Structure 1
């Protein structure tokens, strides 16, 4: 999934240039994630004014090496604004996209069966890769997909966690090329990719999808990778996206209370 000619999002030309993982400076700056969390706590009265949900289920998937504990702030926030948030209940995420497929689909089917409604999925980092794969496997059960700093497109080796992922999961990133290409492509459900150009773990270019009439990128200025799931501007964007009526999609309106935190929108492609 290296970028094709011109480095277009989601392209996978095997002969294209390689991307680099974020540099040491950005990696060390990931410590600011705690500041992003504290800022969200201070801004909670404002965050609670976000568009409210209609009570549908939202499955929150943690990133690599993280557990459901990392998604507690996200789930709590989503419940506060009217969503029915669910944990993944699979312990620590040690990776393995192909290995986790069956268990993740079973968890999705369990929630879908219990609620009787399509389920939105919010995935942080590797969790977002899982989320996109679930949408491909079971579009009849998925309402919306939001990814946060997820490396699913272009040269997915361009992260500072690739070697550890391969060691712990037993999966080589080059394996399952057909599956990786599908995950990088267009989804059958509406989707939003939220990312930051100052991500210290994942090269931001691996997080960009191909914009369309139901798919968009939202870049959050100065956010870290470890803080993206608790960043106030990112949380507001997640809330706004999930509040859309089922089957409808409109581009994200950046004129809200966190307008200064977002990069200008990309134009949808035909």
Structure 2
């Protein structure tokens, strides 16, 4: 008997009532408190090249060497993405001998009151299972979660690697803050988690950033000395952090340096 093909999981958008919708639209349309730098429009439009990625992927080959220093890596996806978006990167980490673990929180629709608590539970679970410290790998908003997790549980974290994460400067130094406010229902500078996102976690913290990022301003993702230990420039797009050859190799190199 033939089996029905499995359909890909579709995003489940946050529910909102009529009044809530009006408030979210107002948040998306509110004026900027002050002008801030952000990637040029041409860079932002370049992000849509990721739509052709499934076609290009079969023709790309990435040579991955076996790791001499295998790590347990908890991967945190970016805003409006699911763990499945990170599967290609995770597969290469595992080819090298690392263990890539999902965050298990479904779609990342922004910070909620219990986000950090749920992530802490997940980190504790992975840490206890393997009885060792974990590397946190966060893409974009996932990198902010990674930094906060490391502040809350430095005893469980050996290293934080962020990819295109806006942890420095204005939270509006990007091309997606209005969309973020519409989806989450809160201002980008007033998240439900009270914290100083630019404060460096008490573990080694490495920021991967790119001047070709069309979503996040490069300086916001690179940060300044004191906000991270090292900043490494790549040449991928923002979406490319999850699949580009140079991003994957950069992450693998950082895992060897744990």
Mark yes or no: TM-score above 0.5.
yes
205, 208, 218: which one aligns with 2:222: 208
Deviation string for 1:160-216 (max 9, x for gaps)?
2112212222332222599442x212221111111111111111111123336x811
Work out whether 1:191 is the aligned partner of 2:205: yes
Q: Distance in 2 between matches of 1:93 and 1:85?
A: 18
Q: SS at the partner of 1:145? A: strand
Work out whether 1:241 is the aligned partner of 2:238: no
Q: For residues 193 and 21 of structure 1, do their structure 2 counterparts lie closer, same or farther at Cα, with a shift above 3 Å needed?
A: same
Q: Structure 1 length as normaliser, TM-score?
A: 0.76
Return the offset for 1:72. 0.3
Deviation string for 1:56-102 (max 9, x for gaps)?
31001100010011010111111110111101111110001654111
The answer on whether the counterparts of 1:209 and 1:215 sit within 8 Å (CA) in structure 2 is no
The correspondence of residues 111-150 of structure 1 with structure 2, limited to 5 A, is 111-150=126-165
60, 85, 93: which one aligns with 2:75: 60
Residue 172 (structure 1) aligns with? 187
Deviation string for 1:34-68 (max 9, x for gaps)?
5677777655342x13x615333100110001001
Which structure's CA Rg is the greater one?
Answer: 2
Unaligned ranges ≥5, structure 2 = 1-33
Q: Distance in 2 between matches of 1:171 and 1:101?
A: 17
Return the offset for 1:103. 0.6
How many residues align structurally? 226
Unaligned ranges ≥5, structure 1 = 1-16, 246-270
Q: Distance in 1 between matches of 2:154 and 2:47?
A: 34
Residue 13 (structure 1) aligns with? none
Q: Distance in 2 between matches of 1:99 and 1:233?
A: 34
